């Protein structure tokens, strides 16, 4: 049964599952599928329970653990498959414990299934596990006089090697680039703020217009550079302070994920889309890096479409919560250019899709994002200048 346990882990990994969690002894392994719409989380346990009470307590503990996650790892229509691999089943009645799946709160349509595989029912249980995981699970029988302990150790070594490789790959994803342009952009916007203050004040409309703030009449007269220059200007010290902190934290993350050149393209594209949206929907003078910063949120959302599980395991819920809170804040508080924020968010997402992530080219997907960004920009400019 040790061999069967590690064979199942090995086969699931081969079919696209990744190890999400492993106990120190290696007798409990959580694996998650890469399916977007109907994800599956599999818990494999190599244990022998003499009595059904121990089995019931472990099932209840695991079910409560999953419920506390509020379905964030499971998603709509997903499932958890809790699998015990045993040499023999409990000596008393245990079948009723796994007869029906348990519901999952926070995961609409989701269910918590339990399977118990022992030496006497593998032929019956493996097809059920195949159906639940969507993976072909046909463990190879031991050949001749092969030592089962040696085979189990070899399979365990292969699984652990793959797990270390996955963890190293994930670590490298977050350390691809160095935050060169993040630092440079912070220096530029602080320098421009000091220039504005020296020239008469960063809250003076005439000073802002002179240095390139978004001013619709001048853009309509052909000063197209005002689609880009507002992202370097800020109105008042508090505006500068909040955007500088946001750029520092978000820029640091996005530039390390995408690399410096991709980051710069995402940032400037988002800034352009933010100003374009403000030009279309807000007649007042505006300035600030908020649209470009929301574009960094968009780039993180795009990262979540490529590495869904990694995104939600690390930053996903925080990113989504911050976007929602900031957009609601912009709707409730007067004077905030929410159109620019939404435009920047869309622009950043599309720009991230066009450049994609380093070392993971997806030309069809990138072309779609590029075409969508170009058409959206062309439609916005046409609507603004007609």
- DSSP code string of 368-383: HHHHHHHHHHHHHHHH
Rounded Cα–Cα distance for residues 99 and 104 (Å): 16
Query: How many of the other CB atoms lie within 10 Å of CB of 81?
Result: 20
pLDDT beyond 60 at 37: no
Rounded Cα–Cα distance for residues 123 and 119 (Å): 9
**Residue 318 dihedral angles phi and psi, to the nearest 5°:** -65, -45
Strands (E) located in the chain? 18-22, 28-32, 40-46, 79-85, 102-103, 111-117
Comparing 61-75, 124-138, 269-283, 369-383, the range with the smallest average pLDDT is: 61-75
How confident is the model over 176-223, as pLDDT tens digits? 888 999 999 999 999 999 999 999 999 999 999 999 999 999 999 989
Residue range 313-327: mean pLDDT, rounded: 87
pLDDT beyond 50 at 71: no
Quote the tokens at residue 381: 């400019």
Active site residues: 290, 341
Check: CB of residue 104 under 8 Å from CB of residue 80.
yes
Q: Is 231 exposed, middle or buried (0-12, 13-18, 19+ CB in 10 A)?
A: buried
**Residue 108: per-residue pLDDT:** 55
Q: Which residue has the higher pLDDT, 212 or 360?
A: 212
pLDDT category at 79 given cuts 50, 70, 90 is: confident
pLDDT beyond 50 at 72: no
* Contacts of residue 147, Cβ cutoff 8 Å, sequence gap at least 6: none
Helix (H) or strand (E) holding 275: helix 260-281
**Residue 106: per-residue pLDDT:** 57
Rounded Cα–Cα distance for residues 335 and 60 (Å): 52
Q: What is the pTM of this model?
A: 0.76
pLDDT category at 376 given cuts 50, 70, 90 is: very high
Rounded Cα–Cα distance for residues 71 and 194 (Å): 48
pLDDT beyond 70 at 96: yes
Cα–Cα separations (whole angstroms), residue 370 to 17, 269, 279, 298, 366: 31, 11, 22, 15, 6
pLDDT beyond 90 at 67: no
Q: Is 122 exposed, middle or buried (0-12, 13-18, 19+ CB in 10 A)?
A: middle
**Residue 107: per-residue pLDDT:** 53
**Residue 105: per-residue pLDDT:** 65
**Residue 147 dihedral angles phi and psi, to the nearest 5°:** -75, 115
């Amino acid at each position: 049964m040790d061999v069967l346990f590690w064979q199942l882990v090995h086969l699931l990994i081969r079919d696209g599952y990744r190890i999400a969690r492993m106990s120190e002894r290696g007798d409990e392994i959580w694996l998650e599928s890469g399916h977007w719409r109907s994800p599956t989380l599999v818990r494999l346990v190599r244990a022998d329970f003499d009595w059904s009470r121990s089995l019931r307590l472990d099932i209840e503990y695991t079910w409560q653990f999953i419920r506390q996650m509020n379905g964030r790892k499971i998603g709509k229509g997903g499932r958890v498959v809790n699998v015990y691999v045993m040499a023999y089943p409990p000596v008393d009645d245990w079948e009723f414990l796994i007869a029906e799946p348990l519901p999952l709160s926070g995961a609409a349509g989701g269910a918590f299934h339990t399977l118990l595989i022992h030496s006497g029912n593998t032929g019956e249980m493996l097809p059920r596990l195949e159906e639940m995981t969507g993976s072909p699970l046909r463990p190879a029988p031991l050949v001749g006089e092969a030592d089962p302990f040696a085979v189990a150790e070899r399979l365990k070594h292969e699984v652990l090697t793959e797990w270390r490789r996955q963890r190293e790959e994930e670590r490298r994803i977050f350390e691809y680039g160095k935050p060169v342009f993040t630092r440079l952009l912070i220096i530029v916007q602080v320098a421009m703020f000091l220039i504005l203050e020296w020239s008469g004040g960063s809250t003076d409309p005439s000073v802002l217009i002179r240095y390139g703030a978004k001013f619709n009449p001048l853009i309509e007269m052909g000063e197209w550079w005002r689609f880009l220059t507002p992202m370097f200007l800020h109105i008042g010290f508090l505006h500068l302070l909040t955007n500088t902190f946001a750029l520092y934290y978000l820029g640091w993350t996005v530039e390390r994920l995408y690399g410096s050149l991709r980051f710069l393209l995402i940032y400037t594209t988002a800034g352009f889309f933010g100003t374009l949206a403000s030009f279309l929907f807000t007649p007042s003078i505006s300035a600030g890096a908020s649209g470009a910063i929301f574009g960094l949120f968009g780039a993180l959302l795009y990262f979540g479409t490529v590495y869904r599980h990694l995104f939600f395991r690390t930053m996903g819920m925080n990113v989504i919560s911050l976007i929602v809170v900031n957009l609601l804040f912009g709707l409730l508080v007067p004077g905030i250019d929410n159109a620019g924020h939404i435009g920047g968010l869309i622009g950043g997402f599309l720009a991230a899709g066009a450049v994609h992530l380093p070392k993971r080219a997806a030309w069809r997907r990138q072309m779609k994002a590029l075409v969508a960004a170009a058409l959206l920009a062309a439609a916005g400019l046409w609507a603004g200048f007609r």
